[in-house]
């Protein structure tokens, strides 16, 4: 059917030809004469067989009298007679029905490669709209150089790419490649999926990002998205515009988890000053808790804030990774201290007597048990320990807050076999693991008891 229509067109074309006055009634020597079909030779780019006058390669005379022709073969077979068959894994969708003439003139053209449009880019844009509305266009796309990245017919790579995505972008972006090569931790998509974040053609964001952080990260990090959006205690910086990039580098980093710097330094870029959680609740400058302190808590020494905090948000108070009471006093339940017992032996508070499970004991009396493991008013760890850092050994705090009284000194003195505390909470008391102190013997002078802080 199509062949018939084409033949009709050929005949019409011949009939309307201004130069060829009459159709030849006999087989002629050459189809191209000064009168006939010379237009094929007047364009700058001429198809080789046309140039050589091999019209019969494509046109077969079917009737001499009426000067009628048919194609020697249907497209794409017509062209494939001389050109390579498409055999690669990915063939251009435009070639699904083999119509080479969607892009090429069969005889001659004004343009390179016998194209129907002046440039490859313009040829492609006849059918494709890429980044037409984009405010940030990619250099090569802006100048219509589609073929720097795509082949027109077929490819071994998806999307007709000239090379694999692992090579394509860094072929030109050598600087990015070098920058990343020097880093210990490389973001996985940077190895072979730059287009996971950048639109290769153009976009409405800076550096052609498909979206801005945090949205740009969410398609691949759904777990983090859920965490940031559904946690009871959120870190607002995470979901603010640009959020993730306040702490993470997008391509690579010399710090684990693609952090912009080691956690302590990173966190202190903001927590070196007071930060408001709510209009009424302001966190004091965190830096004061660790600056110049003699003893840093193990994980802090290791720059591991994440040992205790879930930076992206958590259901626990202060975005803690696990349970820890928010209060000074709390009825005891082991599950309330999962945070500390994630790293420390929970046996230190389990039994009333021990000769090994804790050093905080008087003889065999377990003083951790005594203070913490209580039905009512059990002391939480913060009653005695400073979580982040301290100037006293064993992270014993210098003072405890008490109501409006910001600091009630603890005065801890560590000895080789025990220690002595004279806190505001109770009279000075010593403990000794080897020679147990006899608490039934009352000391000569008693300190004033402060109701509410007295252990019962």
Binding to ligand HEC in span 82-111, by CB under 6 A: 82-83, 90, 92-95, 98, 100, 102-104, 106-107
How far is Cα 196 from Cα 180, in angstroms, rounded to an integer? 17
To the nearest whole angstrom, how small is the minimum distance from the Cβ of residue 133 to ligand HEC? 13
Say how many residues touch ligand HEC, by CB under 6 A. 170
To the nearest whole angstrom, how small is the minimum distance from the Cβ of residue 19 to ligand HEC? 11
CB atoms within 10 A of CB 298: 12
Binding part of the chain for ligand HEC, among 21-29, 41-49, 401-409, 440-448 by CB under 6 A, reads 41-49
Residues 108-137 that bind ligand HEC (CB under 6 A): 113-115, 120-121, 123-128, 130
Residues 330-389 that bind ligand HEC (CB under 6 A): 337, 339-340, 342-344, 348-349, 358-360, 368, 371-372, 379, 381-385, 387-388
Closest among 22, 40, 23 to 32, alpha carbons compared: 40
To the nearest whole angstrom, how small is the minimum distance from the Cβ of residue 412 to ligand HEC? 6
Give, in degrees to the nearest 5, the angle at Cα 284 between 282 and 290.
155
The answer to whether 397 contacts ligand HEC (rule: CB under 6 A) is no
How far is Cα 268 from Cα 290, in angstroms, rounded to an integer? 11
Closest among 240, 284, 286 to 263, alpha carbons compared: 286
To the nearest whole angstrom, how small is the minimum distance from the Cβ of residue 70 to ligand HEC? 11
Whether residue 71 contacts residue 6, with contact meaning beta carbons closer than 8 Å, is answered with yes
The smaller minimum CB distance to ligand HEC, of residues 85 and 438, is found at: 85
The smaller minimum CB distance to ligand HEC, of residues 174 and 444, is found at: 174
The smaller minimum CB distance to ligand HEC, of residues 411 and 444, is found at: 411
How far is Cα 154 from Cα 306, in angstroms, rounded to an integer? 49
Binding mask 286-305 for ligand HEC (x = CB under 6 A): x--x-------xxxx----x
To the nearest whole angstrom, how small is the minimum distance from the Cβ of residue 448 to ligand HEC? 19
The answer to whether 196 contacts ligand HEC (rule: CB under 6 A) is yes
To the nearest whole angstrom, how small is the minimum distance from the Cβ of residue 131 to ligand HEC? 8
Structure tokens, 215: 């949205």
Whether residue 248 contacts residue 322, with contact meaning beta carbons closer than 8 Å, is answered with no
- Radius of gyration for the chain, computed over Cα atoms and rounded to the nearest angstrom: 40
Binding part of the chain for ligand HEC, among 21-29, 281-289, 398-406, 440-448 by CB under 6 A, reads 281-289
Whether residue 213 contacts residue 245, with contact meaning beta carbons closer than 8 Å, is answered with yes
Residues 209-238 that bind ligand HEC (CB under 6 A): 209, 213-214, 216-217, 219-221, 224, 228, 233, 235-238
Residues 147-176 that bind ligand HEC (CB under 6 A): 147-150, 152-153, 159-161, 168-173, 176
Structure tokens, 424: 């505001």
Whether residue 143 contacts residue 136, with contact meaning beta carbons closer than 8 Å, is answered with no
The answer to whether 323 contacts ligand HEC (rule: CB under 6 A) is no
The smaller minimum CB distance to ligand HEC, of residues 356 and 444, is found at: 356
CB atoms within 10 A of CB 311: 20
The answer to whether 420 contacts ligand HEC (rule: CB under 6 A) is no
To the nearest whole angstrom, how small is the minimum distance from the Cβ of residue 438 to ligand HEC? 18
Residues 3-22 that bind ligand HEC (CB under 6 A): 6, 9-10, 13-14
Token pair 């017992």 is at which residue?
341
Residues 256-275 that bind ligand HEC (CB under 6 A): 256-259, 263-264, 266-267, 269-271, 275
- Taking CA atoms, 8 is separated from 54, 56, 214, 442, in Å, by 21, 18, 60, 122
Structure tokens, 185: 């931790």
Token pair 């084409």 is at which residue?
6
How far is Cα 32 from Cα 20, in angstroms, rounded to an integer? 10
CB atoms within 10 A of CB 121: 19
How far is Cα 431 from Cα 367, in angstroms, rounded to an integer? 9
The answer to whether 252 contacts ligand HEC (rule: CB under 6 A) is no
To the nearest whole angstrom, how small is the minimum distance from the Cβ of residue 435 to ligand HEC? 14
Whether residue 36 contacts residue 97, with contact meaning beta carbons closer than 8 Å, is answered with no
């Amino acid at each position: 059917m199509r062949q018939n229509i084409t033949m009709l067109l050929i005949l019409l074309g011949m009939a309307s030809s201004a130069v060829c006055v009459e159709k030849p009634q006999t087989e002629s020597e050459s189809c191209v004469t000064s009168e006939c079909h010379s237009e094929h030779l007047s364009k700058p780019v001429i198809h080789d067989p046309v140039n050589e006058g091999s019209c019969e390669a494509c046109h077969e005379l079917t009737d001499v009298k009426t000067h009628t022709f048919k194609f020697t073969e249907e497209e794409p077979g017509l062209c494939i007679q001389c050109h390579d068959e498409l055999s690669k894994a990915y063939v251009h969708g435009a070639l699904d029905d083999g119509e080479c003439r969607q892009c090429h003139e069969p005889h001659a053209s004004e343009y390179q490669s016998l194209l129907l449009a002046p440039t490859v880019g313009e040829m492609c844009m006849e059918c494709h709209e890429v980044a037409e509305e984009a405010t940030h266009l990619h250099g090569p796309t802006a100048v219509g150089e589609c073929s720097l990245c795509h082949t027109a017919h077929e490819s071994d790579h998806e999307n007709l790419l000239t090379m694999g995505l692992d090579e394509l972008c860094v072929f030109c972006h050598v600087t990015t490649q070098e920058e990343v090569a020097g880093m210990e931790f490389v973001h996985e998509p940077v190895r072979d999926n730059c287009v996971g974040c950048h639109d290769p053609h153009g976009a409405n964001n800076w550096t052609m990002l498909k979206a801005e952080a945090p949205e740009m990260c969410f398609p691949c990090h759904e777990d983090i998205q859920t965490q940031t959006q559904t946690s009871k205690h959120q870190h607002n910086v995470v979901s603010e515009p640009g959020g993730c990039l306040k702490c993470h580098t997008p391509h690579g980093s010399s710090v684990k988890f693609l952090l912009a710097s080691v956690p302590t330094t990173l966190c202190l870029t903001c927590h070196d000053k007071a930060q408001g959680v709510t209009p009424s609740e302001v966190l004091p400058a965190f830096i004061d808790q660790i600056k110049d302190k003699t003893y840093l808590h193990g994980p802090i020494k290791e720059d591991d804030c994440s040992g205790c905090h879930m930076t992206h948000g958590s259901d626990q108070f202060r975005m803690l990774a696990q349970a820890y009471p928010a209060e000074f006093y709390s009825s005891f339940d082991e599950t309330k201290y999962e945070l500390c017992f994630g790293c420390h032996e929970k046996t230190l508070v389990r039994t009333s007597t021990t000769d090994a499970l804790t050093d905080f004991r008087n003889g065999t009396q377990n003083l951790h048990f005594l203070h913490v493991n209580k039905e009512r008013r059990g002391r939480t760890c913060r009653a005695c320990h400073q979580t982040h850092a301290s100037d006293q050994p064993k992270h014993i705090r210098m003072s405890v807050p008490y109501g409006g009284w910001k600091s009630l000194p603890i005065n801890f003195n560590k000895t080789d076999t025990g220690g002595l505390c004279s806190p505001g909470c109770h009279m000075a008391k010593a403990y000794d693991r080897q020679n147990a102190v006899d608490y039934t013997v009352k000391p000569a002078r008693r300190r004033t008891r402060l109701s509410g802080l007295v252990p019962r």
